[in-house]
Amino acid sequence: KAGVTQTPRYLIKTRGQQVTLSCSPISGHRSVSWYQQTPGQGLQFLFEYFSETQRNKGNFPGRFSGRQFSNSRSEMNVSTLELGDSALYLCASSLIMTALYGYTFGSGTRLTVV
Amino acid sequence: DQQVKQNSPSLSVQEGRISILNCDYTNSMFDYFLWYKKYPAEGPTFLISISSIKDKNEDGRFTVFLNKSAKHLSLHIVPSQPGDSAVYFCAARGSQGNLIFGKGTKLSVKP
């Protein structure tokens, strides 16, 4: 079966701009989580969506937002980009919320802010 | 403050030997721990997990040990193979159900 698909794979944006990242979960998976990976901080939880509702949120500023559509696809938006937002953004999907070993990660979107 | 710590950024092991990756955590309320492996340009893939009610879980060459009193867990890979070379992340399930990751340990297995 197809895995978790994230688009685009690479993105270069200018400071102050906004960006939207997309994630298509595994077919049938209803939960989508987003994580940010940076060399200094490792993998940090951004938020989790289930049935089009944000269920959990990490400690990120309001510039980071997301949504989930009825087909479980999810988008993540970052507004007023800062240099520190440069990171690998990973999406993970699972059948149910707060899944444990059921998380499947995509390959990520590498965002560079210049 | 970091709740899940992997204090060794890198580890080098000879093929066929044992690899031991360590992880410490601060919150005694964590109830589930996982290990993920990540190759460059790929997302992390689940490796093995352990519930806080157990002290050991084994899956083939991979064994995870949990010492709750020390708030410490370790991943043993025996025997190590060159294909095991990757970054290994330790994670704990947080109170909201999200995963809290360590910063990772890069394992290099030399032929």
Contacts of B93 in chain A (CB under 8 A): 98, 100
Q: Is residue A102 over pLDDT 70?
A: no
Reference B31, options B50, B4, B44, B46; nearest CA is B50
Question: Which residue among B34, B91, B98 places its CB closest to the CB of A56?
Answer: B98
- Mean pLDDT score of chain B, rounded to an integer? 94
Indicate yes or no: CB of B97 within 8 angstroms of CB of A48. yes
Q: In this structure, are residues A58 and A44 in contact, taking their beta carbons and an 8 Å threshold?
A: yes
- What is the three-state SS of A11-55? EEECCCCCEEEEEECCCCCCEEEEEEEECCCEEEEEEEEECCEEE
Question: Which residue among B45, B49, B97 places its CB closest to the CB of A97?
Answer: B97
Q: Is residue A60 over pLDDT 90?
A: yes
Q: Who's near B63: CB < 8 A, 6+ residues apart?
A: B48, B56, B57, B75, B76, B78
Sign of CA dihedral A29, A35, A39, A42: negative
Tally C-beta pairs within 8 A across A and B: 58
What pLDDT was estimated at residue A101? 62
Q: Which of A26, A43, A90 to mutate to test the interface with B (most CBs of B within 10 A)?
A: A43
Q: Averaged over A29-48, what is the pLDDT?
A: 91
Could you give the strand order of the β-sheet that contains A74-78, starting from the edge strand earlier in sequence? A5-7, A19-24, A74-78, A64-68
The token pair that represents A12 in the structure block? 């270069």
Indicate yes or no: CB of B43 within 8 angstroms of CB of A90. yes
Q: Who's near A39: CB < 8 A, 6+ residues apart?
A: none
Name the band, by pLDDT with cuts 50, 70 and 90, for residue B1: low
Give the containing element (helix H, strand E) for A113.
strand A109-113
Q: Is residue A69 over pLDDT 80?
A: yes
Contact residues of B toward A, CB < 8 A = 32, 34, 36, 41-46, 49, 89, 91, 93-94, 96-104
Which residue did the predictor score with more confidence, B96 or B68? Answer: B68
Q: How far is B60 from chain A (nearest CA, A)?
A: 17
Q: How far is B93 from chain A (nearest CA, A)?
A: 8
Q: In this structure, are residues A3 and A108 in contact, taking their beta carbons and an 8 Å threshold?
A: no
Give the alpha-carbon dihedral of A81, A76, A11, B40, to 10 degrees.
120
What pLDDT was estimated at residue A99? 59
Query: What distances in angstroms separate CA B58 from CA A59, B24, B32, one per listed residue?
Result: 34, 19, 15
What pLDDT was estimated at residue A53? 94
Indicate yes or no: CB of A45 within 8 angstroms of CB of B43. no
Q: Averaged over A82-104, what is the pLDDT?
A: 84
Q: Who's near B103: CB < 8 A, 6+ residues apart?
A: A41, A42, B2, B5, B6, B9, B89
Contacts of B42 in chain A (CB under 8 A): 107
